[in-house]
Structure 1
Amino acid sequence: MDGNPPPPVAEMDVPDRPTTHDDIPEESDGLTSPLSPDSGPTFGPPPARLAARFYRPSAASRRKSSAASSRRNSLSSQQSVQSNSSYRQACRQNHVAQYLRRASIIESRKARLAAREAHADQVRLRAALARTAPRSSNSEERALAAKQARDERLGQIAATCAEEVRRAKRIAEETKERRAAEEERYRVEMEEKLADAEKRRIEYYKKNLRRPRTASTPPNADIKKAIIKEMSDEERERAVTRLQRVWRINRRSKAFDEFSQLGLSIDKVHNTTFDDIKERLCDHRVLEITSKVLNLLQIRSTEADVQDPHATTKTFLTAYLLLGHPAQVMSQDGEQEQDVIQKAKDLIISFEAALSKATAENKYTTPSTSLEDIHLTYTAYLTAFSDWKTKDKTILIELLVQDFVNLDAIWQTVKDDSDGKVADDYQSGIRENQVFLLARLRKLAGPDRANLLIRKAIRDSRRQKQAEKRKLIGDVRPRAADADKIHPEPSTGEESTPTVETAQLTPKPPQSDAIQTKSISQIFSVMPSNRVVTHELVIDKDYRIDTSPHTKARDEVHRKICDSMRDAFKKGEGDRWTVATAENVRAKLLHLLVGSRGEGSLYHLISEALDPELIQRQCSQGIFSYQNFFSFIATILPKLCAPVRDEEVKALAEDLQQFGSLEEMIEKLFKLFHIIDVLALDYSNFLLSNVAARLIKEAPGYEQRMFARELNEGKITLLKTKRWWNNASVNVLTEADRLDPSYRPTLQKIYARGLVDLAVATPPLRDNDVPETLELDKSRLERIREQSVRVTIVGTILLSAKNLLKRDVRSQWKSEANRLLDILKTGYTDDAQPARVLSVIDTAHTLPPATKAQLGSTIARLLSQAATGRFTDPVAKVLFQRLKTHIFSRISASSSGERVRAVSTASESLSTAGLPEFGNIVGGLVDLLSKVGDADRKSHGIWYEKIAAENEDDAGETMQTETDGATDSNENAEPSSAA
């Protein structure tokens, strides 16, 4: 130690770097003093300029020294560490300080980490709460915002509307007060003027009538003459004006008094019957008085009323009828009718108000405001009345035209009947009704337009009838048939059939293989029985045998025969089936050539090529070829078929040329039998068309004989017929007792009631419900039931739509009705049917959302009821009952005059019943039922008479038994009463 101060440790030993906690010495680190002997050689301090350049610490990186380091680096500390003891003490203090600082830093770190952990827990907790909390999507927020905005907007609109309403009320009240004030002012002015006039009049009379004071006896007789003065022109003009004014006042007063004496008021009209008030309003005196009053109120006739001077008066008086008897004047209660009634009410109110203001005080002059009100109300009433009258006239014209066309259709049906004199009976009735309808049409639509409408309607109706009768398209006459040589003989035997020679359709098979031949013929023959053919011809003279494809049951039997034939060929027994097949083909082909039998080359060719004995020998020798057989048939069929079958036969011929396996051969055989049966039916229809007139004449007697034979053989009974007749009798008698107890229905009424109850009802039609006499018409009755239900359903739907849309229920929605009928033909159970039905109405008539929803629920309910076959809807029940009543009224008409009247009013009756669109459909149902009933009564009338006689006898016996029982009881009761 040389006594020189040591270099500053703080500036020499502390590096210029960032301070970290790693600089803090731990307990294991050695503490070495810079003054220790082991520190190595020391050097003197560098020059100041170098020390300032190299050891100058930066202010940013200089570490803030602690209290210990400050004391250690201070000059006093450097001097104190000179001694050993002070050095050891300093080391101990430094160690404790460093330990305390380290502990403090660790504690601060622990506190900071704990705070971070607590913060992390809080973050995780908030995240979990955020995840579990319900979130509202943007769409919901937008919806809420939109709802809030809509509510605010509605509130603004409501406030604005309320303000407008208040303003309108205020304006109306102000206007009313202003008019009242003006009327009061006019009244006061008028009273003042009248008072002044009366005052002047009194003064005038006093001035001119005052006698001069003279002697009682004039000296000369000419004095009186001198008093009378001649009037000047001005005075004369004033006198004339005054007289005219008085005359006008008297005329107005007289007119108003006469009208008041008539006593016309809404209450009086309502209390009087419609016929009486109608007759009174048409009285000439009433019309004259009302015309005077209307002229005083400046309501005058127009130029269109030249032909009828009282047309305006009648229109005005109709307002009283509308208010007093609206149901009799208007057949419907639609929106337009309500508007006319409201306009009539306003007119009568303003008219009575105007009459009440015409008093002696104002010289029976109506105020201008009252005149203005009555003119406005009359104009509105006249417009609404004209629109309603025009619409009603259009509907009435359509109904009259339809009735005229129905009468023409009846005449077209019966005009060819000359034997039964039916045409003579109908001709007079139809002509009278047509003349009456034509007169009404000409009055409503004018002569030219009426004739045009009738011609067009009749032409369309006849075209439609002709189109319906064209059931066969093309020429179905076989090419080989010779119409000139077809002369079917009529049946002369008691039990023979009067139909076509149907025995030729199923020829007798040869003795060999008879079973197989008969089976095949029965399976593929679709010719109905003779009784069915004659019955169908009576109902429809254009009837032809249906050539539609086989039914499902026939296809099932067809499959069984195919399997049997296939098994026979596999067992080696195919020769029997081959011979039977050839025999049936030969017989049916030869039947098609009946006109050229014995002289035609084609007849001989088929007879020789398909000879059963030849085919039997070929099969026994094993040389028979189905390929040659099919080739021969393929060349023969085009020569025999009708032109309408060319395409079908050509396709079969091409198929027959392609021969394959056993399976294909069997299928071709049965296709061949099917087409041959179709050709046979074409030939049978051709023969049927030639002898239809003769068969129709003999049909009732033949069907009666066949029915009697089945009764005698015990195949059928009359149990169901008796039960059906008894039910119809009970129904008719019950209705007759309710209406007129003295009336006893005829057999025709009872039969009509039973027929209508059987045909117009909800499906299904059970076998026990059909009498034996109407068994052949069961399918027809089922179709009528289905059609009547469809008409009811469609009519109910259209009526509901008209009421919801405030339309006239008499308006005809024919296009919508036809489309709905076509849709409902597929059934009622499909889930898409209500939507289809609703779309038809919505397409034709735009429906509001509420109306559409209500109509959709109604349609779904009606279709479900139709599917279950039970109507519970009140409207549907009423319409169905009205339809049944309408059909019964037309079916039960006995004379030709009653039938003509029923047809002439059919359209109006259906329109009133709520079914204006179904005139043609209901007419077709009535015609079909009438034909069924006529044919049935002609064939089975004797059995109906027997059943009716038995019922009367039973009723008489029952009544006699009851009478005897009552007598016995009275006799037994006499002693007791005497006792």
Structure 2
Amino acid sequence: MPLSNEKNSVSEDLISDSDSSGLSESTASSSDYDSSRQSFTSDSSSKPSSPASSPPKSVTFDELMAAANDLSNMILAHEIVVNEKFHLEQIDLPEKSVESRVKEIVHKAFWDSLESELNEDPPEYEHAIKLFEEIKEILLSFLAPGANRLRNQICEVLDIDLIRQQADHSAVDICGLANYVVNTMGKLCAPVRDEDVKKLQTTGSIVQLLRDIFHVLDLMKMDMINYTIQNLRPHLQRQIVDYERTKFQEILDKTPNALSQTTEWIKESIEDILSTLPSPGTEQSSGSNLSPTQVLNNGYLKLLQGDYQTKALPETLMTDETRLQELKEKLNHVKVVACILLITHNTVGAATAGIPEFAEQLKTITTVLLDGMNKKKFDLKEALNTISIKMCFEINKFLTEKDYPTLTNETQASLMGQICSIGEEDNPVCNLIDKRVLLYMKSLLCLPSAQRNMPSMPGGLAPVQIEMESIGTQYANIVNFNKQVYGPFYANILRKLLFSETSGQGEAGPVTE
């Protein structure tokens, strides 16, 4: 194939490889509210950007801040789409912290001052009226555009000018206004807040009632935000590829070196593949013969092996950093479980063959005892020793119940020794499981988009098949979506890295677009 055709096909290969592998849409639930709310729609006018390279230039502080803002918006939109459980929660300050103590003192001073003003003769209502003015605005913000009747009622009852006139003549009914607010909150709140609103009706002190009203209103505001996020998700899902690609292009325009780590990641993947090919200098070892998809898939697989807590992720994968780290930790846990079960089966499999319930019991025990193994303080050596003892105990107990001879001392010592050696470097069982896990993950990435069936599970992984399929599906979704968004950016980098050698003895030459 002519070189120019190869270069032109790079982008096509990447995009066609992931066109139909996007994330499935989740339906936004409207059950949290009795009446429908207006949903927000994102701007659909943006078109997918064609990645452009820019000459090196100095970046001003304003440009850097603008790029950071673009990145923040892109990360938020990405999180809403890919994380169906994404929601916002109120942040509670740590108990006994300085911030918590200061907040407590300031709030107490405010409410004590309000109580003192209301207890004066005649009462001073100005601060209370300001609170009702704020409550009015919050209640109005909960209303859908068509709720004119309730809007008019709230504006009429909480007419601040009228309330001030009543206060000037000592005719204002603070308790009556507070009760109206509580009843209105009951009409507007999500079902999950019904109990909180009912408790407001039993509050005796007017100051405590106002304080509790603001607390419940804060919860209702958070409910409203999360409800809006649910409704926003389907709209973002239809536009997220174009949106992320456009936003990243804007970041790249402001910070031209924003793909440096991505370029290094792809370069390392190419070098890794070439190191496994025939001796350097042969036609087979030429980078121009590598498939762009092959290079990217190898790079994605490396993400499951590398330590990206000390080594930076490619910029194009920053939005999935947390998810990738969690998947890697889950995979490490599953690998150790698979190693232990494989060793156990090979040692005593004949005695327990055909008893899936017992095999599942051993798996559960192993999984529980390895819980938290990715934490720094976790002692894997001690955990493996405990598991080995527990395995021998459970197996002997099972064999005794079935009137079979128990394990000999030699078999127990062999089983315990093999399990404890899993934590050692270059353990043959661990190396075997590692290779088969990567083989399975690679088969998922190479799976045609039209094929819905999962690939066959390699030997030794059958006991953890459910866990592997779950992790594999999440991983493949991240990769396929990433290809859809950043395929054109990867294509530009791959053209330069794979075909530059034709310009002269490995030196980077001009790229023909």
TM category, shorter: 0.5 to 0.7
Q: How does 1:342-353 map to 2 (within 5 A)?
A: none
| Alpha-carbon spacing, 1:687–1:728, altered in 2? closer, same or farther (3 Å) | same
| Alpha-carbon spacing, 1:667–1:719, altered in 2? closer, same or farther (3 Å) | farther
Match of 1:562 in 2: 103
Residue 537 of structure 1: how far off its partner (Å):
6.1
1:775 and 2:325 aligned: no
Residue 951 of structure 1: how far off its partner (Å):
2.1
Match of 1:535 in 2: 78
Q: Which amino acid aligns with 1:877?
A: N
Match of 2:57 in 1: none
Match of 1:491 in 2: 43
Identify the match of residue 467 of structure 2 among 921, 930, 933.
921
Q: Which amino acid aligns with 1:596?
A: G
1:636 and 2:195 aligned: no
Answer with 949-958 or 564-573: which moved more. Answer: 564-573
1:721 and 2:262 aligned: yes
Match of 1:965 in 2: none
| Alpha-carbon spacing, 1:860–1:639, altered in 2? closer, same or farther (3 Å) | farther
CA contact (8 A) 1:535 1:699 kept: yes
Residue 954 of structure 1: how far off its partner (Å):
5.0
Q: Which amino acid aligns with 1:799?
A: L
| Alpha-carbon spacing, 1:478–1:702, altered in 2? closer, same or farther (3 Å) | same
Q: How does 1:58-69 map to 2 (within 5 A)?
A: none
**Aligned mates of 2:199, 2:320 — CA distance in 1:** 41
Query: Which of 1 and 2 has higher RCO (CA within 8 Å, sep 6+)?
Result: 2
Match of 1:937 in 2: 483
**Aligned mates of 1:493, 1:930 — CA distance in 2:** 29
1:817 and 2:363 aligned: yes
CA contact (8 A) 2:270 2:295 kept: yes
Q: Which amino acid aligns with 1:756?
A: L
Identify the match of residue 711 of structure 1 among 241, 252, 273.
252
Residue 736 of structure 1: how far off its partner (Å):
3.6
Residue 488 of structure 1: how far off its partner (Å):
5.6
CA contact (8 A) 1:710 1:716 kept: no
1:732 and 2:273 aligned: yes
| Alpha-carbon spacing, 1:669–1:745, altered in 2? closer, same or farther (3 Å) | farther
CA contact (8 A) 2:501 2:507 kept: no
| Alpha-carbon spacing, 1:577–1:561, altered in 2? closer, same or farther (3 Å) | farther
| Alpha-carbon spacing, 1:858–1:930, altered in 2? closer, same or farther (3 Å) | same
| Alpha-carbon spacing, 1:571–1:879, altered in 2? closer, same or farther (3 Å) | same
Match of 1:600 in 2: 149
Residue 729 of structure 1: how far off its partner (Å):
1.8
Identify the match of residue 477 of structure 1 among 21, 24, 32.
32
Match of 1:801 in 2: 344
CA contact (8 A) 1:701 1:939 kept: yes
**Counterpart of 2:299 in 1: which secondary structure?**
helix
CA contact (8 A) 2:278 2:284 kept: yes
CA contact (8 A) 1:638 1:650 kept: no
Residue 876 of structure 1: how far off its partner (Å):
1.7
Residue 725 of structure 1: how far off its partner (Å):
1.7
Q: Which amino acid aligns with 1:566?
A: H
- Give the TM-score normalised by the residue count of structure 1: 0.38
| Alpha-carbon spacing, 1:658–1:889, altered in 2? closer, same or farther (3 Å) | same
Residue 655 of structure 1: how far off its partner (Å):
5.2
1:718-764 per-residue CA deviation (whole Å, 9 max, x = no partner) reads 22222222212211222344799627222111111111211x237x6
CA contact (8 A) 1:700 1:939 kept: yes
**Aligned mates of 2:32, 2:499 — CA distance in 1:** 56
1:928-961 per-residue CA deviation (whole Å, 9 max, x = no partner) reads 2222122212222222122223324654456166
Residue 642 of structure 1: how far off its partner (Å):
3.2
Residue 702 of structure 1: how far off its partner (Å):
0.9
Q: How does 1:407-426 map to 2 (within 5 A)?
A: none
The structure having more radius of gyration, on CA atoms, is: 1
Q: Which amino acid aligns with 1:782?
A: Q
| Alpha-carbon spacing, 1:586–1:932, altered in 2? closer, same or farther (3 Å) | farther
Q: Which amino acid aligns with 2:182?
A: A
Residue 883 of structure 1: how far off its partner (Å):
0.7
1:695-732 per-residue CA deviation (whole Å, 9 max, x = no partner) reads 32211111112222233344982222222222122112
CA contact (8 A) 2:338 2:461 kept: yes
**Aligned mates of 1:611, 1:495 — CA distance in 2:** 47
State the identity %: 16
**Aligned mates of 1:778, 1:953 — CA distance in 2:** 30
Residue 625 of structure 1: how far off its partner (Å):
9.2
Match of 1:687 in 2: 231
Match of 1:265 in 2: none
Residue 570 of structure 1: how far off its partner (Å):
8.1
| Alpha-carbon spacing, 1:927–1:639, altered in 2? closer, same or farther (3 Å) | same
**Counterpart of 2:43 in 1: which secondary structure?**
coil
| Alpha-carbon spacing, 1:823–1:954, altered in 2? closer, same or farther (3 Å) | same
**Aligned mates of 1:679, 1:715 — CA distance in 2:** 40
Q: Which amino acid aligns with 1:878?
A: L
Match of 1:873 in 2: 427
CA contact (8 A) 2:190 2:220 kept: no
Match of 1:749 in 2: 294
| Alpha-carbon spacing, 1:919–1:557, altered in 2? closer, same or farther (3 Å) | farther
CA contact (8 A) 1:627 1:657 kept: no
Residue 530 of structure 1: how far off its partner (Å):
5.8
Residue 795 of structure 1: how far off its partner (Å):
0.6
Give the helix-richer structure, 1 or 2. Answer: 1
Residue 792 of structure 1: how far off its partner (Å):
0.7
1:892 and 2:436 aligned: no
- Give the TM-score normalised by the residue count of structure 2: 0.67
**Aligned mates of 2:175, 2:425 — CA distance in 1:** 62
User: Any gaps of 5 or more consecutive residues in structure 2?
Assistant: 1-17, 49-70, 116-124, 400-405, 509-513
1:848 and 2:397 aligned: no
CA contact (8 A) 2:182 2:213 kept: no
Q: How does 1:85-96 map to 2 (within 5 A)?
A: none
- Count residues in correspondence: 436
**Aligned mates of 1:918, 1:674 — CA distance in 2:** 44
| Alpha-carbon spacing, 1:535–1:859, altered in 2? closer, same or farther (3 Å) | same
Identify the match of residue 215 of structure 2 among 671, 678, 685.
671
**Counterpart of 1:479 in 2: which secondary structure?**
coil
**Aligned mates of 2:491, 2:502 — CA distance in 1:** 16
CA contact (8 A) 1:480 1:593 kept: no
**Counterpart of 1:890 in 2: which secondary structure?**
helix
**Aligned mates of 1:577, 1:772 — CA distance in 2:** 51
Q: Which amino acid aligns with 1:491?
A: D
Match of 1:148 in 2: none
**Aligned mates of 1:604, 1:708 — CA distance in 2:** 46
Q: How does 1:828-847 map to 2 (within 5 A)?
A: 829=378, 835=386, 839=390, 842-843=393-394, 845-846=398-399
Q: Which amino acid aligns with 1:792?
A: K
| Alpha-carbon spacing, 1:670–1:815, altered in 2? closer, same or farther (3 Å) | farther
CA contact (8 A) 1:481 1:596 kept: no
1:609-650 per-residue CA deviation (whole Å, 9 max, x = no partner) reads 55677789999999999876764443233322333x1xx531
**Aligned mates of 2:420, 2:130 — CA distance in 1:** 57
CA contact (8 A) 1:630 1:656 kept: no
CA contact (8 A) 2:384 2:419 kept: no
Aligned-pair RMSD on alpha carbons?
4.9
1:514-538 per-residue CA deviation (whole Å, 9 max, x = no partner) reads xxxxxxxxxxxxxx97644643465
**Aligned mates of 1:805, 1:557 — CA distance in 2:** 58
1:220-246 per-residue CA deviation (whole Å, 9 max, x = no partner) reads xxxxxxxxxxxxxxxxxxxxxxxxxxx
1:586-618 per-residue CA deviation (whole Å, 9 max, x = no partner) reads 455434321533x232x3344455567778999
| Alpha-carbon spacing, 1:817–1:629, altered in 2? closer, same or farther (3 Å) | farther
